[in-house]
Amino acid sequence: MKYRVHLTEKRHGRQDSDGSNYLTEYVDGDNVIEWELMDRICAEKFIDAFNMVKGVDESRGNDVSPASWIAWNKYSTGSGEWLGNIDLLNKEVQYAIDKNHCYFTDDHIILPNEMSFDDILKRCNAIHFEFENRLLDHKKQLEETSAPDSDNDFKACLERLNKLVHQVEKGPHADAKTNNFVVIRYNSDHVSKDFPKLSDPMYREFQQNVENGDLFSDFFTVGKDLGHAYHTNDTDLIKNQEVKQQSVISGAVHFGFNPEHFGNKDECAPEQVPEYANYQQWCKDNKAYEYGYPYWEPKYNLGRAPIGSLLNETYDSLVNKFIQTPFISKVELTND
């Protein structure tokens, strides 16, 4: 079975101010990208989750919660304008304060000329922790619920914060000019609570992400997992027992591609080989087990579950497709 993404020259649906794109009606594309789904447990569960979303009857949808929707983003994996992104992040933090979207203070503002990179990471971690809490605040969610065409930008603000935090965390030397990262969330509020739960055999399929064009199951969980805490040195997340591992296989996927790793079928890139040992040592040094995280278990494996192998593309052909037809208009499973 194949997973197919349709791309169009013209936009369908809407784009929010955070750069997120939303579709509730789907059309065939001018271009397509396809992946052959793998013979793995996580891929099988992905098919189940996808079909759960597809099977929601349109009559169950409403303005606030459509029967199904696609939210997609195209990210860079760093930024050559690091100071500019810090400035944007500070402005977004202030905007969230002004709009009462988050409970930020001056202690969340980043001062790049006065702080070490470790201190900047701590501020990023604190920002991340606060907007995650708002996403988990049921009362806040009800207060901010609005129809798709409303001007309430609570969730858009949180997505902007999330995107900017990740860009700043990459540091001043990250080069995103040749990296491409796409997230596609095919979802329905009407079935998401029933998505397949991850088990140890499924966690064992997780591997460090290689931006080789292949398809991975996306996180689809609010918060940071232990691996993300490690990469950002977020020791407070462990001490506060706020680690959130990926818990389900959903209809959400991501894929990344760059010229260095395109087509590499190894489980990790060469520079990632020592990463797992470093991760284990970091968990040991920060007493993760004492806080309830047995980091050696499959549940805490680094990375995500690969679920599909890219078909009939080169790096250049993928780049050109996104140049010619930059908008996602539909996703489907097919036996064609």
Residues 207, 188, single domain; the answer is yes
Question: Residue 78: what pLDDT?
Answer: 46
Instruction: Tell how strand 69-75 and strand 31-37 pair up.
Output: unpaired
Residues 131, 205, single domain; the answer is no
Last residue of a domain, one of 121, 144, 175: 175
Whether 133 is covered by a domain: the verdict is: yes
Question: Residue 300: what pLDDT?
Answer: 95
**Residue count of the chain:** 336
Whether 61 is covered by a domain: the verdict is: no
Question: Residue 147: what pLDDT?
Answer: 44
DSSP assignments along 19-52, one per residue? S-EEESS----SEEEEEEEPSSHHHHHHHHHHHH
DSSP assignments along 278-302, one per residue? HHHHHHHHTTTGGGT--TTSGGG-S
Which domain range does residue 301 map to?
A: 1-56+66-77+179-336
CA distance 21 to 331: 14
Cα Rg for the chain, rounded, in angstroms?
20
Last residue of a domain, one of 146, 175, 204: 175
Identify the burial level of 50 via C-beta atoms within 10 angstroms of its C-beta, where 0-12 means exposed, 13-18 middle and 19 or more buried. buried
Q: Is 246 helix (H, G, I), strand (E, B) or coil?
A: coil
User: In total, how many domains does the chain have?
Assistant: 2
Which helix (H) or strand (E) covers residue 140, if one does? helix 138-144
How many CA atoms lie less than 13 Å away from 142 in the CB half-sphere?
Answer: 2
Whether 140 is covered by a domain: the verdict is: yes
Residues 94, 186, single domain; the answer is no
Last residue of a domain, one of 175, 208, 226: 175
Whether 243 is covered by a domain: the verdict is: yes
Question: Residue 142: what pLDDT?
Answer: 55
Whether 236 is covered by a domain: the verdict is: yes
Residues 160, 216, single domain; the answer is no
Residues 164, 188, single domain; the answer is no
Residues 201, 257, single domain; the answer is yes
Residues 189, 304, single domain; the answer is yes
Residues 184, 49, single domain; the answer is yes
Whether 157 is covered by a domain: the verdict is: yes
Q: What is the pLDDT along the chain (336 residues), one digit of tens a residue?
A: 999 999 999 999 988 766 788 999 999 999 999 999 999 999 999 999 999 999 998 888 887 788 999 999 887 654 457 788 888 889 989 988 888 888 888 889 998 888 888 888 888 888 888 877 777 655 655 555 554 444 567 777 877 888 788 778 777 766 544 678 899 999 998 999 999 999 999 999 998 877 889 999 998 877 789 998 998 888 988 998 989 899 999 999 999 888 877 777 766 666 666 888 899 999 999 999 999 999 999 999 999 999 999 999 998 999 899 999 999 999 999 998
Residues 51, 191, single domain; the answer is yes
Whether 227 is covered by a domain: the verdict is: yes
pTM (predicted TM-score) = 0.80
